């Protein structure tokens, strides 16, 4: 054996008796990572490395490729990995990877005709990319498409030049080297961007005018409300129903604005003796209805799902399901057939029609000047808990050290039930979600 042959770091498989070309079973070789963007080019590269390393055994090639595949890719060829064919396993794996990750002819044609641009590449680099995508496109068509991607000044120079497309590409490289590369080329959008800008500008002007009118009306009403002759407690019936913010009456609900809300009467002695809250409701005749906080209830209306909702404890004779409850859960009231319809499941239940002494219960007085304004702009006060976020902006607070925590304390059974019910409601509304963190924050329960 000569000295040149000794430098070859390989070991042949002695079990294969082939005098003409012994198959190489193992060499010192590391395959490059699999390239999902261009699997055909990847296999062309790795097969060249197999040739350099002297690897000829199919099974060895197969295992090298398997070792180079990432976890997200190997899941898509798991059937071949777990149950490889007895013969031609390398070819089967190669064909599957190319089939899974190679771009289709339609996608390649779309890139060639629409999406591929010059950008920061040189004209020769752009031509190389276009040729890679245009295996079935005639050379004349490829030349025209390539010229359309070049700047206008370069197109004018190449229009009077002769030669094949390769010579024109080299000439275009030299032209761009001596021209100003910082020029900006304006491209018209396919959807008429100028028209969209005018429409958007007009909508912004209308919105600004509406906000300004709303501010002027609000300022004017505040000045009128400070007049002693227009006070809330004057003798006239109309002024006695006027809304006064200084009296501590909430003029909109923190979730549902001027919509009707769900109320229940106080049942327990503790609820009856509770101090009235600042939130006041209004009956149809203009009288105020005192409230005593909220209570989270779980209702089973025989509609094959559970409804959790915070009801306002108010001075009413019987519980009332308001428009906030019906809107959130998608329930429809059929007055003609005396039934309640669930739009999610299509089920319905029969209900009994009764007369209510409270009539319509609202959060604003009928003569309040804010009522019409809030009805004109319902999106100002109606906040949806599960509203979809239309942006990807996230906020965070930088902290140092471990989070603040408190020692865990056992809750009495009745308080534990309330806490679990409250957390379940917040999870259902999308306000919070379960966490796998080792840290926890304290929960304060207010009686």
Confidence label for 337 from pLDDT (cuts 50, 70 and 90): confident
Confidence label for 241 from pLDDT (cuts 50, 70 and 90): very low
Of 101, 133, 151, which closes a domain? 101
Q: Which residues contact 8 (CB under 8 A, 6 or more apart)?
A: 54
Taking only the tens place, the pLDDT of each residue in 34-49 is: 877 778 888 888 888 8
Taking only the tens place, the pLDDT of each residue in 366-399 is: 666 666 777 677 666 554 555 566 777 877 778 7
Of 51, 83, 101, which closes a domain? 101
Arithmetic mean of pLDDT, 291-306: 84
Q: Which of 6-20, 74-88, 359-373 has the lowest mean pLDDT?
A: 6-20
Q: Which of 83-92, 215-224, 267-276, 345-354 has the lowest mean pLDDT?
A: 215-224
Q: Is position 209 within any domain?
A: no
Q: Is position 49 within any domain?
A: yes
Q: Are 147 and 171 in the same domain?
A: yes
Q: Are 60 and 136 in the same domain?
A: no
Look at residue 405 and tell me whether its pLDDT is greater than 70: no
Q: What percent of the chain has pLDDT over 90?
A: 0
Q: Are 93 and 149 in the same domain?
A: no
Q: Which residues span the domain enclosing 156?
A: 105-176
Q: Is position 371 within any domain?
A: no
Q: At what angle do helices 58-68 and 39-53 cross, to 10 degrees?
A: 130
Q: Are 304 and 256 in the same domain?
A: yes
Q: Is position 242 within any domain?
A: no
Q: Is position 308 within any domain?
A: yes
* pLDDT for res 2: 39
Q: What is the DSSP string of 60-98?
A: HHHHHHHHHS-HHHHGGGHHHHHS--SS-HHHHHHHHHH
C-beta separation of 21 from 56 below 8 A: yes
Confidence label for 263 from pLDDT (cuts 50, 70 and 90): confident
* pLDDT for res 104: 66
Q: Are 324 and 300 in the same domain?
A: yes
Q: Are 339 and 264 in the same domain?
A: yes
Q: Are 340 and 257 in the same domain?
A: yes
406 or 416: whose pLDDT is higher? 416
Of 176, 197, 216, which closes a domain? 176
Q: Are 270 and 346 in the same domain?
A: yes
CATH code at position 297: 2.40.70
The span from the CA of 62 to the CA of 79, in Å, is: 14
Look at residue 24 and tell me whether its pLDDT is greater than 70: no
Q: Are 271 and 335 in the same domain?
A: yes
C-beta separation of 27 from 33 below 8 A: no
Q: Is position 274 within any domain?
A: yes
Q: Is position 33 within any domain?
A: no
Look at residue 258 and tell me whether its pLDDT is greater than 80: no
Q: Which of 97-101, 174-178, 215-219 has the lowest mean pLDDT?
A: 215-219
Confidence label for 18 from pLDDT (cuts 50, 70 and 90): very low
Closest CA to 328 of 260, 419, 251: 260
The span from the CA of 271 to the CA of 291, in Å, is: 10
| Average pLDDT of the chain to the nearest whole number | 71
Chain centroid offset of residue 268 CA: 44
Among 66-80, 100-114, 131-145, the range of highest mean pLDDT:
66-80
Q: Is position 303 within any domain?
A: yes
Confidence label for 194 from pLDDT (cuts 50, 70 and 90): low
Q: Are 302 and 262 in the same domain?
A: yes
Q: Are 273 and 346 in the same domain?
A: yes
Arithmetic mean of pLDDT, 299-307: 84
Q: Are 67 and 150 in the same domain?
A: no
Q: Which of 65-79, 237-251, 385-399 has the lowest mean pLDDT?
A: 237-251
Q: Count up the domains in the chain and report the number.
A: 3
Residue 171 in 3-state DSSP? helix
Look at residue 319 and tell me whether its pLDDT is greater than 60: yes
Provide the H-helix boundaries in 226-358: 237-240, 269-272, 323-329
């Amino acid at each position: 054996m000569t000295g040149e042959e000794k430098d070859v770091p390989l070991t042949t498989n002695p079990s294969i008796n082939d005098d003409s070309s012994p198959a190489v079973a193992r060499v010192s070789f590391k395959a490059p990572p699999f390239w999902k963007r261009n699997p055909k080019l990847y296999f062309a590269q790795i097969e060249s490395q197999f040739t350099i390393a002297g690897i000829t055994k199919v099974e060895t090639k197969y295992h090298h490729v398997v070792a180079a595949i990432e976890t997200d890719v190997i899941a898509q060829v798991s059937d071949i990995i777990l149950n490889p064919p007895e013969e031609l396993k390398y070819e089967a794996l190669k064909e599957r990877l190319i089939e899974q990750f190679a771009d289709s002819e339609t996608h390649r044609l779309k890139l060639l005709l629409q999406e591929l641009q010059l950008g920061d590449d040189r004209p020769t680099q752009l031509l190389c990319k276009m040729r890679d995508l245009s295996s079935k496109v005639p050379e004349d068509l490829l030349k025209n498409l390539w010229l359309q991607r070049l700047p206008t000044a370069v197109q004018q120079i190449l229009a009077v030049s002769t030669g094949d497309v390769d010579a024109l590409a080299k000439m275009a490289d030299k032209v761009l080297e001596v021209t100003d590369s910082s020029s900006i080329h304006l491209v018209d959008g396919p959807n008429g961007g100028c028209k969209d800008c005018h429409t958007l500008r007009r909508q912004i002007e209308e919105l600004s005018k509406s906000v300004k009118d709303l501010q002027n009306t609000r300022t004017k009403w505040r000045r009128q409300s400070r007049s002693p002759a227009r006070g809330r407690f004057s003798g006239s019936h109309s002024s006695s129903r006027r809304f006064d913010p200084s009296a501590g009456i909430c003029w909109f609900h923190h979730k549902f604005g001027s919509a009707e809300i769900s109320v229940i009467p106080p049942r327990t002695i503790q609820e009856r003796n509770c101090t009235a809250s600042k939130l006041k409701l209004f009956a149809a005749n203009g009288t105020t209805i005192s409230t005593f906080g909220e209570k989270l209830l779980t209702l089973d209306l025989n509609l094959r799902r559970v409804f959790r909702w915070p009801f306002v404890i108010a001075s009413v004779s019987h519980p009332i399901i308001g428009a906030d409850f019906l809107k959130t859960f998608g329930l429809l009231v059929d007055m003609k057939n005396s039934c309640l319809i669930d739009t999610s499941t299509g089920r319905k239940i029969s209900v009994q029609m009764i007369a209510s002494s409270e009539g319509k219960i609202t959060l604003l007085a009928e003569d309040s000047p804010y009522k019409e304004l809030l009805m004109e702009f319902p999106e100002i006060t109606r906040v949806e808990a599960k509203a979809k976020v239309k942006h990807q902006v996230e906020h965070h607070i930088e902290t140092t050290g471990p989070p603040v925590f408190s020692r865990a304390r056992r809750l009495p059974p009745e308080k534990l039930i309330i806490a679990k019910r409250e957390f379940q409601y917040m999870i259902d509304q999308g306000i919070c979600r379960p966490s796998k963190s080792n840290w926890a924050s304290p929960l304060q329960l207010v009686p």
